[in-house]
Amino acid sequence: MKYTGALCSLFLCAFLFASGQVSPVSGTPAPVLVEQFRTNRVFWEQFEIAGKIVKLHDTSVLEQLKPYLKDNDRHVRGNAAYVFAALGDDDGFEVIKAILTDRSERSEGQGIPGGNWDLRAQISADRYYAVHLFGDLKDVRAVAILVPLLNDPEVHYIVPWALSEIGEKAAVPPIMLMFTDKNPDMRVLAIDALERLRAKEALPQLRLLLHDDQRIHFDGLGTVAEAARAAIDKLEAMP
């Protein structure tokens, strides 16, 4: 049955909400959200729909989304896998993990900055997105997968953020090793991640960066020293 705004009377909406078929955030019935997921191939919009589906806590939707775990577009595949993983189905976690090592051919897809498509750039974008999904998922099992990727030039920019989203303290020592990275951008990304992880144990190493005047290429083009000072101030103020 397809529910529309006209059909969804107060009684029907109340019934659907109670039965878990309506999103508590958007009030959208599960069948409508699943159909939106199927038809919207803009990956970031599709991910927003995936998030609404997850909030239903309704595992009955998984059977309808199962074909998308093998979608040729790895961004779409990742979005479907996110729903599975977030609803407790380990198939989703494994699909996201597999995208990180999937360098197979695929048709032109999404996630290429500037739209200049080629397969190598697409694979990099797909892998980057998989790391991002692990950060969104916040599953501690991903830490062991992500830490080695701190040295992977295709995805290392997003890995510190993903680890900080997961919030597992085991990630602190490997992130601190990034302070020796030649790229000032990576040093600042490490600083930001450690601040988010409330890693007070990093304070001595952060103080060593207070004379690092190399400038970064994002976020106001500040220096490593400025980022270190800001992180030190915040960490020292934490209880």
> In this predicted model, what pLDDT tens digit does every residue of 51-107 receive, in sequence order?
999 999 999 999 999 999 999 999 999 999 999 999 999 999 999 999 999 999 988
Interior angle at CA 229, CA 225 and CA 231, nearest 5: 115
Domain ranges of the chain: 1-137, 141-239
Q: Does the pLDDT value for residue 26 go beyond 90?
A: no
Q: State the number of CA atoms in the 13 A half-sphere of 87 facing the CB.
A: 24
> What is the arithmetic mean of pLDDT over 15-35?
65
Pairwise pLDDT comparison (113 vs 98), residue with the higher score: 98
141-239 domain in CATH 1.25.10.10? yes
Contact 164, 192 (CB under 8 A): yes
Q: State percent of the chain over pLDDT 90.
A: 80
Q: The tokens of 166 are what?
A: 């997961």
Q: State the number of CA atoms in the 13 A half-sphere of 236 facing the CB.
A: 10
- Which SS3 state, helix, strand or coil, does residue 22 take? strand
If we measure between CA atoms, which residue out of 46, 122, 130 comes closest to residue 96? 130
> What is the arithmetic mean of pLDDT over 98-119?
85
Pairwise pLDDT comparison (112 vs 36), residue with the higher score: 36
Q: State the number of CA atoms in the 13 A half-sphere of 204 facing the CB.
A: 2
Contacts of 225 (CB under 8 A, 6+ apart): 209, 210, 211, 212, 213
- What DSSP element (H or E) covers 189? helix 184-196
Torsion of CA 22, 23, 28, 33, to 10 degrees: -100
Q: How confident is the model at residue 16 (pLDDT cuts 50, 70, 90)?
A: very low
> What is the arithmetic mean of pLDDT over 7-25?
40
Quote the pTM value.
0.87
Q: The tokens of 5 are what?
A: 């705004």
pLDDT given for residue 136 in this prediction: 98
Distance CA 156, CA 124 (A): 11
- Output the average pLDDT for the chain: 89
Q: Does the pLDDT value for residue 44 go beyond 70?
A: yes
Interior angle at CA 155, CA 174 and CA 215, nearest 5: 75
In Å, what is the CA distance from 24 to each residue of 18, 50, 57? 10, 14, 10
